[in-house]
Amino acid sequence: MTDLSEHRPFSESQAAPWWTRAVVYQVYPRSFADSDGDGIGDLNGIRSKLDYLAELGVDVVWLSPVYPSPQHDNGYDIRDYEDIDPVFGTLDDFDALLAEAHDRGIRIVMDLVVNHTSDEHEWFRESRSSTDSPKRDWYWWRKPREDGSAPNGWTSAFSGPAWTLDETTGEYYLHLFAKQQPDLNWENPEVRHAVYAMMRRWLDRGVDGFRMDVINLIAKRAELIDGPERGAGDGFVMGPQIHEYLREMHREVFDGREGAYLTVGEMPGVSIDDAALFTDPTQQEVDMVFQFEHVSLDQGAHKFDPIPLDLVALKTSLARWQVGLAETGWNSLYLNNHDQPRLVSRFGNDTDYRYESATLWALVLHLHRGTPYVYQGEEIGMTNVRFESIEHYRDIESLNHYREAVEEFDQAPSSVLGAVHAMGRDNARTPMQWTAGEQAGFTTGTPWIAVNPNYPEINAEADRASGTSVFAFYQRLIELRHTNDTVALGDFELLEPSHPTLYAFTRSSSSERLLIVANVSDDPFTGDLPLDVSTAELLLGNYPVDADLPLRPWEARLYRL
């Protein structure tokens, strides 16, 4: 056991920022709780569930976007950064939510979506109006090539080209996502300062930080757009100015403020070395990043090409991130969010071992070093949904993929639907299952997307009343993060890295050593545990205590050695 507190910034209890001991809960407002019966969740719905969140024990709520939006991408296409969409409520409702959350010791972090706006944002309307517009250069406009085609061959994350020709001026604009989501030009200082001013106004209003949507895409490689090597693959990720922009943002937005803030940058394709730079506290960029390596391991050629999870690859990937950010920087920890399939269906067994596999993954994730994120419904073991036809799906990504795969690439509709069942984002977006009553207690109206038909069995009320409550297990994990310094800050070491079904690691500090063992399998684990536990104290497990038995299917245990 080594005490690294002398040379590591976050190992000494006093020096560690508050979010090293915090757990974040993500609310996807459309699908959380509907207070007015229009079938869409809203701010007053969230207010009505604050006691539930306080009982769970979370420190922070990250709100997916609630700003005015035409909702092509469920609010990730923002028309106005300074207001609330009427489907979610009003600014007064927002202020009330913020105050009531703060009363319960819960901070609110806003989604910051500034790689792109909606095409209905006034900035874009102005920009598209003429090539002389003072805001023309706020977005990426390019003339067609000589043959009339797009400036380069980049494709959008939601299928099809990343350029759309705009009739008004005969030029193309860039959109890395839907054509209704034009990319802002961060090379223009006016854009950057308009964004910073908007962020400052939200902080003045009392919010506690930002989750920054695809923030490593804001710095483009302009030379690839204009250069001879047109269409160069992923050239839009991590342009050379990215660190400069994030440092400038931090300075302009947070300097001189006293509050306890949290910033997390969503960064597809980020490497460990980059992440260490982004999260190095001396650099003042972001507190932590969302990386994607571990949630890409069950994807083949692309997202809708699911392949079986290789546990060895998953645990070695997460371990590399643990080690890579041990000296400098900080990890976020997540297996679920609004873009990912449900954890218990994806990496667990959502039929025979739903409770066991949900709690196994919870224990494994929450015992890593980093800030854990819980996505709504994860804490009651909600599962994927399998709608019978594509008509029931709502997500632009799944719908565009289905149309392209079936119509342009002639794939069999049933196999494309199968991929949407496995990987589609609507798995995470069906309404929160509160009760066994009508529409799972989510709304008194007709929900914008159907409720998962398993709600009579899987719902918060039933879970909390049960002897095997996933919610209660998350409560314990959250409490441990708050109270145990080794859980929050201890060193991580992966054991048995090449074992195909055993997930085992230790967390160590100068005062104790914890062992986590988890049997990621429908079969019992009959081998020897990697360390002697004969005198160890069992702190938490997801089966009735019988430490003499080998690990049962999906059993996970936390020992103090």
Interface of this chain with ligand NOJ, residues 261 to 290, rule: CB under 6 A:
266
Residue 27 in contact with ligand NOJ, rule: CB under 6 A: no
Tell me the closest approach of the beta carbon of residue 307 to ligand NOJ, in angstroms.
22
Q: What is the DSSP string of 169-181?
A: TTEEEE-SS-TTS
Of residues 214 and 423, the one with the C-beta less far from ligand NOJ: 214
Give the one residue of 97, 101, 150, 214 binding ligand NOJ; rule: CB under 6 A.
Answer: 214
Catalytic residue among 73, 111, 266, 379: 266
Q: Catalytic residue at 213?
A: yes
Q: How many CB atoms lie within 10 A of CB 32?
A: 24
* 34's tokens: 């509907």
Of residues 64 and 521, the one with the C-beta less far from ligand NOJ: 64
Residue 339 in contact with ligand NOJ, rule: CB under 6 A: yes
Beta strand 24-27 pairing with 171-174: unpaired
**Main-chain phi, psi angles of 138, to 5 degrees:** -80, -15
Site string for ligand NOJ, 347-386 (x = CB under 6 A): ----------------------------------------
**What span, in angstroms and rounded, lies between the C-alpha atoms of 353 and 543?**
11
DSSP bridge partners of 515: 506, 559
**What span, in angstroms and rounded, lies between the C-alpha atoms of 87 and 93?**
12
Of residues 338 and 513, the one with the C-beta less far from ligand NOJ: 338
Residue 213 in contact with ligand NOJ, rule: CB under 6 A: yes
Interface of this chain with ligand NOJ, residues 66 to 105, rule: CB under 6 A:
73, 76
Helix (H) or strand (E) holding 251: helix 242-254
**What span, in angstroms and rounded, lies between the C-alpha atoms of 373 and 25?**
6
Tell me the closest approach of the beta carbon of residue 396 to ligand NOJ, in angstroms.
8
Catalytic residue among 77, 213, 287, 397: 213
**What span, in angstroms and rounded, lies between the C-alpha atoms of 187 and 220?**
9
Residue 177 in contact with ligand NOJ, rule: CB under 6 A: yes
- Counting Cα atoms < 13 Å in the Cβ hemisphere of 105 gives 9
Residue 103's identity, in one-letter code, is D
Of residues 90 and 340, the one with the C-beta less far from ligand NOJ: 340
Of residues 52 and 292, the one with the C-beta less far from ligand NOJ: 292
Q: Catalytic residue at 491?
A: no
Size of the site for ligand NOJ (CB under 6 A): 9
Give the one residue of 53, 101, 113, 288 binding ligand NOJ; rule: CB under 6 A.
Answer: 113
Residue 119 in contact with ligand NOJ, rule: CB under 6 A: no
**What span, in angstroms and rounded, lies between the C-alpha atoms of 17 and 288?**
12
**What span, in angstroms and rounded, lies between the C-alpha atoms of 50 and 60?**
11
* 64's tokens: 């997916």
Of residues 254 and 290, the one with the C-beta less far from ligand NOJ: 290
Handedness of CA 243, 247, 250, 252 (dihedral sign): negative
Residue 34 in contact with ligand NOJ, rule: CB under 6 A: no
Sites of contact with ligand NOJ (CB under 6 A): 73, 76, 113, 177, 213-214, 266, 338-339
Looking at the annotation, which residues are catalytic? 213, 266
